[in-house]
Amino acid sequence: MGARFLMAAALATVCLLQAQSKSPAKAAEEKPKLGDNSAGSRGQPAHIIPLRDPEGDTIQPGDRHSLPFSVSQTCGGECHDVAAVSRGWHFNPMASVDNGAGVPAGRNGQPWLLVDRETATQIPLSYRAWAGTYRPQQVGMTEREFAIHFGGRTAGGFGPEAHDSETDRARWLVSGTLEVNCLVCHDASPAYDPAEYANQVARENFRYAPAAASGLALVTGSAKQMPDLFDYLLPNSVEDSLQAQIPKVEYAPANFLPSGKVAFDIVRQPKTSQCYYCHTNTDVAFTGAGRFKGHEDIHSVRGIGCNECHRHGLDHMVARGYEGGASSALTCEGCHAEGNAMGAPHPDHEGIPPVHFARMTCTACHSGPLPEQSTRQFKNGMTHGLGEFNVNKAQGALPHLYYPVFARNEEGKLAPNRLVWPAFWGRLENGTVRPLHPDQVKSALAKGKLAAPLTADGNWLNVDEHWVEQVLRILDEDGPSAYIAGGKLHRLDGGKLRAEDNAQAQPYLWPIAHDVRPATQALGAKGCQDCHSTEAAIFFGKVSVDSPLASERQVSWTMNRFEKNLDTGYQSRLAASWRYRGMLKAIGLGAAAILLLVLLAYAVRAIDRLSAATVGRNV
Amino acid sequence: MTYSSAVTTVFVIALAIVAVDLVLRLKFRRERRAGYRPSSLLRWLRLAVNVAGLAALVAAAITGLSPALQKNGEMTGDALITHVTMAPPFAVMAAIVALFWAHRNRFTEGDWNTGYRAAPLRKFFFWLAVAFAVPTLVSILAAMFPLADTEGQADLVRIHRYCGLFLAGSGLLFAYFALMAWREGSED
């Protein structure tokens, strides 16, 4: 009895202690941070805060050796749960594949495009599992290389990985991590310069990039030039020849308030122009002198910002807004449904047979440019570096992106898409092509003295099939190789170049969501024959084929090649029958009128007879 | 009730009416009367109209209802084109048949007091067919104009399908009873 009592008492004590030790920690974990727990005010909270360096120490204007402020320390120290934010769409691509974190890939989206003009390479990359894209690792690109190449167009979220090489680990220490940069979207100050951010990333000044972009500090030097053993806390320990390149940060004292704090112009809802820095898609015809011809999305024209629909909570899982996605209330249908909470106009779609809504997305008629006999070319903020310093403004600058291309989506609905034709070299392994890193191809070009002069406008090299044949001959020395371009796989067969169809040579498509056109500019606004004619671009338009090889650029694909299961014969017959539609209406209405008159005439007579019968008369 | 089961039901009812009529016809067998004989030209014209009208009705019904039996009313592709191609001849013939038969199908006192005869049923199904023909045509023509919204469009198509179904049933019964009445020698 005594032993049992003692054991029970001991267990109870252990449980009590455990409960006492866990509860406060758990409570602290669940307690939202100051800025994440809204009191409900619609006002914009002032962000008068101290700058904190990567170590968490406060930065003062008079510091002798200033350090760059860290966004995660400055924003996340006491006020915001940056760890929760960093799981959002803008920061989580690697979580979708590498870490097994289970972040769904979602529908196909804008890929990163690795462009290397010397090797005629243009390959879509993504960490998300989008069919038709390649994970950077598949091209031999490390996370660090990816961050250097594309990080300037991201909101950060790159750092050392467990599988990094020794060199990469050392270089991460030199450059710092490219941490989540809240300011990219939320700093509305006119002094914030995203181009400077990209510039600093290119110089591998990862830990300095937010400070430089914020306009609060001047950053000089380049971590790229620093040796592997460089320590940013002891910057002067490098050899004399590199002293001028040491990354340094200098704060403007005028930016500090008397309290030693800094006033950020932080906005809860980013301005559309901030989204546009990365998410601009613009027709090449509307660049340069043609800028004034461009159109805006009707929502923007009406003053509706991106964030009105692309909403999110602290997790920053921004609503992507497509049917079947996570946020059904923030889709076209969600906002424009009858009696919607947004007050968006509900379209009646008078006269449009319901079958159209079952088989086509809203975007098919309302988004992107109206389809023409040939696809158009556009540029993108992320892939063309629009707005960055010294950007190539030539219309032909790579990568070459095309739109609108009508294709069936996963639900089988017809939808407009953007398109890129992959062009890359690779090894043929087990029936598939493993892409080669451009540097590997450059070695082959150097070996065979095959380097072709670059074009002045940033377009494809002026090369032909003979050049491809020669390059493949050298690459084949290390194993069977192939070149994918223009929708074809090129390989040597018996010493001769052979082009053949291949799944990996298919263009990569991703859906067009914007710019949205209003009803008056929608496809079909001019009548059914916008689509139901024998030359309707939506079915019979030409999709330009892009390739470094001029001969392949002469060819085009018909739009319906992308519209799986489309009965083109039926579409042609339906279109041909449209000319008789007026006659059909006239005959039908005439016949209906006669039938109605007959019915009425005898109904009147019948009523007359009934009435006469009531007074005993026959009519 | 699905559209395909509605189609089946209507035609089962139509067949039942025919079967009942055949039974009653055997029970109340009567001599063939000498009826009104129109001129040769008019007779041939009537015959042509009747045959063409019946053919147009059958063609429109087959092209309209057979996809319904297969796909529960979903009519697309070439089946739709075929049906729409049949529509103008059917509409024209419907109007002509109505003009040719309306006068003869007036209800008279004789319809109620001459025993079991085909003519009254012929008249009933004729007017039923005419009554259904109007919304059948008007509904689908209205859908071709920018008048109704998405739900209205769906309603118009539904009206067309159901009225068309009843038109097919009553039209075929009219044809049957017209034939029976002709056999009885009735022309009124």
Please classify residue A557 by burial: count the beta carbons closer than 10 Å to its beta carbon, then call 0-12 exposed, 13-18 middle and 19+ buried: middle
Q: Judge whether B69 lies within some domain.
A: yes
Asked if B7 and B69 touch (Cβ cutoff 8 Å), the reply is yes
Q: In the predicted model, what is the mean pLDDT of residues A518-534? A: 91
* Sequence-ordered list of residues with C-beta below 8 angstroms from that of A288, at least 6 positions apart, any chain: A393, A395
Judge: A584–B84 Cβ closer than 8 Å, yes or no. Answer: yes
Tell me what the mean pLDDT of segment B123-135 comes to: 95
> Given an 8 Å threshold on Cβ–Cβ distance, is A350 in contact with B146?
yes
Whole-model pTM? 0.85
Please give the DSSP secondary-structure letter assigned to residue A59: P
Searching chain A, which residue's CA lies closest to the CA of residue B145?
A: A351
> Cβ(A153)–Cβ(A198) under 8 Å?
yes
Could you tell me which of A169, A160, A247 has the C-alpha nearest to residue A208? A247
For the residues B22-47, what does the mean pLDDT come to?
A: 75
Element (H, E) at A24: helix A2-30
In chain B, which residues have their Cβ closer than 8 Å to the Cβ of A589?
137, 141
Above 50 in pLDDT, residue A17? Answer: no
Tokens at A379, concatenated: 């540029």
Average confidence score pLDDT of chain B: 86
Count contacts between A and B (CB, < 8 Å). Answer: 96
Please tell me the total count of domains within chain B. Answer: 1
In whole angstroms, give the CA distance from residue B77 to residue B56.
21
Task: Residue B87: give the domain boundaries.
Answer: 3-26+40-184
- The average pLDDT across A513-541 equals 91
Instruction: Return the pLDDT at A511.
Output: 96
Name the 3-class secondary structure at A245: helix
In a domain, B34, yes or no: no
How crowded is residue B15: how many other Cβ atoms within 10 Å of its Cβ? 13
Distance, in Å, from the CA atom of A156 to the CA atom of A152, rounded to the nearest integer, reads: 8
**Least confident segment among A88-97, A221-230, A430-439:** A88-97
Tell me chain B's radius of gyration from C-alpha atoms.
18
Put simply, the answer to whether A595 touches B133 (Cβ < 8 Å) is: yes
Name chain B contacts of A357, Cβ cutoff 8 Å: 150
Secondary structure (3-state) at A149: helix
Distance in Å, alpha carbon of A110 to nearest chain B alpha carbon = 33
Any domain includes B32: no
Residue B97 lies in a domain: yes
- Single out the residue of A285, A507, A297, A500 nearest to residue A405, CA to CA: A507
How far is the alpha carbon of B29 from chain A, nearest alpha carbon, in Å?
Answer: 31
Tokens of A71: 């966004």
- Per the domain annotation, does B31 fall within a domain? no
Of A106, A127, A391, nearest to A277 by C-alpha is A391
In a domain, B33, yes or no: no
Task: Note the pLDDT of residue A96.
Answer: 59
Q: Which residue has the tokens 């990333």?
A: A201
Which residue of chain A is at minimal alpha-carbon distance from B146?
A351
Best of A530, A573, A587, A595 to disrupt the B interface by mutation (most B CBs within 10 Å)? A595
Distances (CA, A) of A407 to A1, A360, A562, A564, A618: 79, 10, 5, 7, 70
Write the single-letter amino acid at A15: C
Q: How high is the pLDDT of residue A102?
A: 66
ipTM: 0.91
In a domain? residue B22: yes
- If you ran DSSP here, which 8-state letter would residue A425 be given? E
Q: Could you read off the pLDDT of A78-124 as tens digits, one per residue?
A: 899 998 898 888 887 776 554 455 678 888 999 999 999 999 999 99
Given A351, A352, A595, which is nearest B134 (Cβ)? A595
The reply to whether B46 falls in a domain is: yes
| Structure-token match 């660049």, residue found | A287
The pLDDT tens digits for A537-592 are: 999 999 999 999 999 998 999 999 998 878 888 888 888 888 888 999 999 999 99
- What are the tokens at A163? 């599988």
Beta-strand runs (E) in B89-170: none
